Every structure is written in C-alpha cells, then in structure tokens.
Amino acid sequence: MSPLLIKISKDFATIWTTIDPIGNVAIFAGLTASLTRAERRRTALRASLYAAVILVVAVVAGQIILDAIGIHLRSLKVAGGIILFLFGLQMLFGRLDAKAGAPEPGRDLAVFPLAVPSIAGPGAMMAVILLTDNDVYTVAEQAQTGVVLLVVLLLTYILLLFSDAILRIIGRQGAAILVRVMGIILASLAVEIVLTTLGVASWAPVSR
C-alpha cells in the first residue's frame, strides 16, 4: 500500500473513531425523539455544520495557539496520544457523556450536546491538530486530512438523517458493540502515536 493510502486510512480511522458517528446516532435518536421529521433533519444539518466549523478552526488555528504559548511538538504528541487513549478507553468501557441528557431550556440542541461535545469533542479536536501538524506534514498532506475530515462529517450527517432506520437494523446493543470496537482501534492508534514520538524504533510487527 502506498504511503498516501496509508496516511489516508490512518486519518480516516482516527477521525472516524474520535467523532464516533455510530455512538452519535444513538444520542441523536434519543434527544430528537419528540421532534418532527423536518425538525430532525434541520437539527442534524446544523449540528454537522457547527461541528465542521469547530474542527476546521482547530485545524487552522489549533497548532498556532499551542506554538504561541510554547508547547513543544513532542509534548503535544505525547499528551494528544494519552488523551486519545483515554478517549478510546471511555468508548470501550461506556461513554460517560452518553447521558448528556436534554439541553437546558432555550438552548439549541444542535449546538449542545450534539455539535459539542458529541461530534466535535476534545478527542476529535486533538486528533485533527495532531494529524495536521505543520512540522510533520506538508500543505498537501494537511489538505488531504481536511478532505478526510469533511468526508467523515458528511457521513455523520447522513447517518444522523437515518438514525431511526439504523437503530432498527443494528439495535442499540449493536451500536454499543460497534462503539467499543472503535474504542479498541482508537486506543491502539493512540499507543502508536506515543511510542513513535518517544522514539521506540524497535516497535514493529514481530515476524512470524
């Protein structure tokens, strides 16, 4: 597999697991159960757009802000890997924020808790910052990651639109299983980030 496809695959896996579209389907279905079909569609669209704006801002300005306050690249990567690992464990053992509950009266459901923290949560923000590191990736590679991010957000929007049908097919237990599988994948990717940053060069697949 070419380096380009490897990076795209890793970007997709990392962004997909941190955004967690399947887990958000269950949350969206529960929070919008009392809305009409048209209102659910508008809520799904606004939540996806708000999340896209937040994550694009994180891509563009996140590292600039971190560099301005003097956070070194290696420290950012190790911290980001640890955060993503903990996020993966949270997905594996049960989302603590799944009970985010109904929004406060007068608040927009699409903003809280759907856009933040369900779709554009801290794990997703840290992931996109790490995957578009100015000191590691070229502008073209960062643009590729941006495209992958938009694709994942588009897929998330589509899944939200069909949340009822999806839950009828796989059930809430099926959704919970998929979330936990994605948690294992994210935890593994996070471990790889930390080990690579710490220079554990011998960390490689063991030949059989």
Confidence of residue 140 (pLDDT cuts 50, 70, 90): very high
What does the CA dihedral 126, 131, 134, 138 come to, rounded to 10 degrees?
A: -170
User: In this structure, is residue 45 part of a structural domain?
Assistant: yes
**Cα–Cα distance measured from residue 86 to residue 133, given in angstroms and rounded to the nearest whole number:** 21
User: In this structure, is residue 206 part of a structural domain?
Assistant: no
**Cα–Cα distance measured from residue 176 to residue 25, given in angstroms and rounded to the nearest whole number:** 11
**Cα–Cα distance measured from residue 4 to residue 13, given in angstroms and rounded to the nearest whole number:** 14
Is residue 205 scored above 80 in pLDDT?
A: no
**Which range is least confidently modeled, 6-10, 67-71, 203-207?**
203-207
Q: How many domains does the chain have?
A: 1
**Cα–Cα distance measured from residue 143 to residue 49, given in angstroms and rounded to the nearest whole number:** 19
The interaxial angle of helices 37-68 and 21-31, nearest 10 deg, is 130
Query: CB count, 10 Å around CB of 164?
Result: 15
Mean pLDDT of the chain, nearest integer: 84
Position 206 scores a pLDDT of 46
Mean pLDDT, residues 110-118: 89
Is residue 73 scored above 90 in pLDDT?
A: no
Q: Among all chains, which residue has been given the structure tokens 């949560």?
A: 121
Q: Among all chains, which residue has been given the structure tokens 């708000």?
A: 50
User: In this structure, is residue 202 part of a structural domain?
Assistant: no
The answer to whether the peptide bond before residue 113 is cis (omega within 30 degrees of 0) is yes
Taking Cα atoms as reference points, which of 160, 20, 153 lies closest to residue 84? 20
User: In this structure, is residue 208 part of a structural domain?
Assistant: no
**Cα–Cα distance measured from residue 52 to residue 46, given in angstroms and rounded to the nearest whole number:** 10
User: In this structure, is residue 118 part of a structural domain?
Assistant: yes
Position 162 scores a pLDDT of 93
Position 106 scores a pLDDT of 55
User: In this structure, is residue 183 part of a structural domain?
Assistant: yes
**Cα–Cα distance measured from residue 88 to residue 160, given in angstroms and rounded to the nearest whole number:** 22
Position 64 scores a pLDDT of 83
User: In this structure, is residue 205 part of a structural domain?
Assistant: no
User: In this structure, is residue 31 part of a structural domain?
Assistant: yes
Position 158 scores a pLDDT of 97
167-179, pLDDT tens digit by residue? Answer: 888 887 888 888 8
Domain with 42 in it: 3-197
**Which range is least confidently modeled, 21-30, 95-104, 129-138?**
95-104
